[in-house]
Structure 1
């Protein structure tokens, strides 16, 4: 099933279940908070395990790609990135962990300051689902082959600016683009 569709189905189902929960009961709310914290800790541990797996594999295959210029910055130029599969996967897992911490901070704001309790239940489920469906998890836990959507560098869906400007949404891997960036000397290691 498409992850976007499954996210929608799980979110709608979780909202319906959350409406039936006794969220006014302080004891139940304590259990709900504990469940949310447990889900975040499990998610962090999964990412940590992925990091250990990546380091153990130690895939030093060279990976070259070109990050496109930023559409909002007229001075930016496409940047050639030369790295290894190991370093790329570690960087992607690190980004995912930072995203996890951002989600925790946002939930802290929603629950701690705004006093919303339903998102605790929903995000507890969605976080673990997101971690288990992430590209690093697909490659290093589930053993998927790095082909198609899982080929490195990972493809990103075009954002609003890319859709409006027609700019490239993600890293370019074709030989002509890499050669042009090498000639221009825009390198990042």
Structure 2
């Protein structure tokens, strides 16, 4: 089951479970708030730890790939030449930005609109996203960067697993380099 499908299944299950939790009880609400904050602190702490490990490892292996164009774009993909270190740091920054956007959304939903169920659901989703993170698998669990963990990481895709993948084959990279050369002339 891909990440998008498992996220959907977890969300639906968590919503059903959240209906049975008595959020009207101030003590229960306090526990849910503490759990949400604790999960976000744990996730951000792990992400900052991984960032430190990436910087300490300083992997300067060159990474070239063709980034896919947008689904509605007529333009071909863009050539990206970077290092494993810079790629991992970029991916980690995206993950941290996602956590902070989720926290901002939760401040609005719970702080302003007074919704309580999303606190519980997002606590579970935060842990699941940490578990699904490819950088956690590489830097914390020590799995080799092969297969699904090979850089550049494949996108999560949609519910049916469809999505544009970065092209790493030699022909696609050479084609992108030729296009860049033609634009420079």
Given the two structures, how large is their TM-score scaled by the length of structure 1? Answer: 0.83
| Residues 26 and 139 of structure 1: CA distance in aligned 2, closer, same or farther (over 3 Å) | same
Aligned to 1:181: 176
Aligned to 1:72: 72
Give the whole-Å Cα distance in 2 for the aligned partners of 1:77 and 1:12: 38
Kindly report which structure 2 residues correspond to 1:22-37, keeping only aligned pairs within 5 A, or say none. Answer: 22-37=22-37
Aligned to 2:18: 18
Gaps of 5+ in 2: none
Deviation digits for residues 60-101 of structure 1 (CA, Å, limit 9, x no counterpart): 110000112334344x44211111111101110110111111
Aligned to 2:49: 49
Aligned to 1:109: 108
| Residues 68 and 18 of structure 1: CA distance in aligned 2, closer, same or farther (over 3 Å) | closer
Give the whole-Å Cα distance in 1 for the aligned partners of 2:137 and 2:10: 20
Q: 176-185 vs 13-22, which deviates more?
A: 13-22
Gaps of 5+ in 1: none
| Residues 70 and 13 of structure 1: CA distance in aligned 2, closer, same or farther (over 3 Å) | closer
Give the whole-Å Cα distance in 2 for the aligned partners of 1:88 and 1:13: 34
Deviation digits for residues 96-126 of structure 1 (CA, Å, limit 9, x no counterpart): 1111111112222322233221111121122
Kindly report which structure 2 residues correspond to 1:110-129, keeping only aligned pairs within 5 A, or say none. Answer: 110-129=109-128
Shift of 1:8: 5.0
Shift of 1:57: 1.2
Q: How many residues align?
A: 181
Structure 1 contact 157–169 (Cα < 8 Å) conserved: no
Shift of 1:175: 0.2
Give the whole-Å Cα distance in 2 for the aligned partners of 1:35 and 1:27: 12
Give the whole-Å Cα distance in 1 for the aligned partners of 2:176 and 2:10: 43
Deviation digits for residues 41-65 of structure 1 (CA, Å, limit 9, x no counterpart): 1110010011111111111110000
Question: What RMSD over aligned residues (CA atoms) do the two structures have, in Å?
Answer: 2.6
